[in-house]
Amino acid sequence: MNEFFILMKQELVITLIIFILLFIKLSSKQWSNEKVLVLINVLLLLNLAAGFLFPDTGDLFGDMYRTNPLMAFEKNILNLGTLLISLQSYNWLKTHKHVPEFYMLLLSTLLGMFFMISSRHMLMFYLALELSTIPLAAMANFDLEKRRSSEAAFKMIISSAFASGLLLFGISLLYGATGALSFSALGETLRQYSPLHILGFIFVLSGFGFKISAVPFHLWTADVYEGAPVAVTSYLSVISKGAILFVFVTVLSTVFSVYGSSWYFMLYFLSVLTMIIGNLFAIRQQNMKRFLAFSSIAQVGFILIGITGQSLEGNVSVVYFVLVYIFSNLAAFGVISLISAVTGKETIDDYKGLYKTNPLLTWVLALALFSLAGIPPTAGFFGKFFLLLAGAGQGNYILIAIAALNMVISLYYYLRVVKAMFMDPNDHPIETIQADWKPKLALAICVIGLLITGLASGAYQYIYSLFVLN
């Protein structure tokens, strides 16, 4: 019983917070938005701190659930990202009518992601995946009166339902071929190549492809990112994608490790397509959210290179990149969400001349974009460097060359935004933004994280040691 509480502590804390919110919503006393927001931010901070206590290794529920220090660390990364998003969206939520509901949905999806990271059984994995996507579709619809918001939500629920249909069909074929559903048993029985195994694997891979928005399956991403409220967009592009990537790495390296040589070529193909198409579409975007959506598709291409490395270093570099990506993307989305909440402006043309009126925000956004492009002093450079290094371990230098070319292309469109902000004249620039201290604190944490994880080598080594321990 004691073991149960210690091993599942992160999930239990989240569940507790959801219940507290439920009672706040149901209580007869009317809570003001400020009060709820302060309370929930304090609770999220406590949740983040509690995640670092008592790291332990163990299995629960007959091998369905497993936790170890690495998984606890991955969950802590997600906790940190959620706290940052919650602080950043303060200005937007302050005037919203449904604050407790928003956080209930947000934390349900986080709970789903935690279970997904810890799952060791296909049934557990499927349930956790659905818990983490169905409430997200409801969250995408949170600007209830906006047409775009509901359109985005519909696109999201249909494509995620279809994706989980594909995934399930693949799982059912694998079940038929092997009679096993737990990851370890599947990994042991999937020894030889049979057509049914490969077909099942392709279906599972396409299901994952939808969720991480790799290119042939990316069509929903840009629309959902553009239509959803900014807080939800940043949550989707950072937290949700990060969690799926963690699980993707686990599934590939435990269940399908035997098929390494065949999924190497599938991922090779996917990552080349993802990088090229993501970058080329990002060039022509005018809306900042849509622009970041395509840039995040392109980033997934780079992450897939790290996974094709099929080595310990490859898996470490994926987790490290997600950590760096959380800081850089949340810094960018933090600035965008502040400007969008105060002025409602979201296109790149509106950002012209931003430096004249908001120098500090401009620097933060520029730094975030440099990190996304991978320019040396920021953490993004090291993230990409480790991914490519892991990919190069396979000896396929064509892939690395294509990736390097794509980094040059991506530099063009990131610098386009920077140029618009610093150099282009504008008769009606965005007025000076008066922000609360909470979004500012979140931006400061992101900037510090960007520089610290880039300059201190400790982070990468720490993740490496966790993987070795695993």
Partner 1 sequence: MSGIPIYQILIVSTALFFIGMYGLFTRRNMITMLMSVELILNSVNINFVVFNKYLYPGQLDGLFFTIFIIAIAAAEAAVGIAIIINLYRNHQSIDVEDASEMKY
Give min distance, CB of 216 to partner 1, in A. Answer: 14
Give min distance, CB of 260 to partner 1, in A. Answer: 26
Residue of 222, 218, 196 lying closest to 209 (CA atoms) = 218
Query: In terms of CB distance, is 179 or 216 closer to partner 1?
Result: 179
| HEC per residue, the chain | CHHHHHHCHHHHHHHHHHHHHHHHHHCCCCCCHHHHHHHHHHHHHHHHHHHCCCCCCEEECCCCEEECHHHHHHHHHHHHHHHHHHHHCHHHHCCCCCHHHHHHHHHHHHHHHHHHHHECEHHHHHHHHHHHHHHHHHHHCCCCCCHHHHHHHHHHHHHHHHHHHHHHHHHHHHHHHHCCCEHHHHHHHCCCCCHHHHHHHHHHHHHHHHHHCCHHHCHHHHHHHHHCCHHHHHHHHHHHHHHHHHHHHHHHHHCCHHHHHHHHHHHHHHHHHHHHHHHHHHHCCCEHHHHHHHHHHHHHHHHHHHHHCCCHHHHHHHHHHHHHHHHHHHHHHHHHHHHHHHHCCCECHHHCCHHHHCHHHHHHHHHHHHHHHCCCCCHHHHHHHHHHHHHHCCCCHHHHHHHHHHHHHHHHHHHHHHHHHHCCCCCCCCCCCCCCHHHHHHHHHHHHHHHHHHHCCHHHHHHHHHHHHC
Query: In terms of CB distance, is 223 or 313 closer to partner 1?
Result: 223
Query: In terms of CB distance, is 58 or 165 closer to partner 1?
Result: 165
Query: In terms of CB distance, is 120 or 290 closer to partner 1?
Result: 290
Query: In terms of CB distance, is 189 or 426 closer to partner 1?
Result: 189
Query: In terms of CB distance, is 166 or 390 closer to partner 1?
Result: 166
Contact footprint for partner 1 (CB under 8 A): 122-123, 126-127, 130, 134-135, 137-138, 141, 144-148, 150-154, 157-158, 161-162, 165-166, 168-169, 171-173, 175-176, 179, 181, 222-223, 226-227, 281, 290
Give min distance, CB of 81 to partner 1, in A. Answer: 24
Residue-by-residue DSSP string for 31-50:
PPHHHHHHHHHHHHHHHHHH
Query: In terms of CB distance, is 147 or 428 closer to partner 1?
Result: 147
Give min distance, CB of 221 to partner 1, in A. Answer: 11
Give dist(CA 277, CA 294) in Å, integer. 9
Give min distance, CB of 429 to partner 1, in A. Answer: 26
Count CA atoms within 13 Å of residue 411 on its CB side. Answer: 11
Give min distance, CB of 148 to partner 1, in A. Answer: 6
Query: In terms of CB distance, is 112 or 429 closer to partner 1?
Result: 112
Give min distance, CB of 200 to partner 1, in A. Answer: 10
Give min distance, CB of 223 to partner 1, in A. Answer: 5
Cα dihedral 77/110/212/454 (nearest 10) = -10
Q: How far is CA 19 from the centre of its chain?
A: 25
Residue of 130, 328, 318, 133 lying closest to 232 (CA atoms) = 133
Give min distance, CB of 158 to partner 1, in A. Answer: 6
Give min distance, CB of 131 to partner 1, in A. Answer: 9
Q: How far is CA 422 from the centre of its chain?
A: 29
Give min distance, CB of 366 to partner 1, in A. Answer: 27
Query: In terms of CB distance, is 210 or 325 closer to partner 1?
Result: 210
Query: In terms of CB distance, is 29 or 147 closer to partner 1?
Result: 147
Query: In terms of CB distance, is 123 or 468 closer to partner 1?
Result: 123
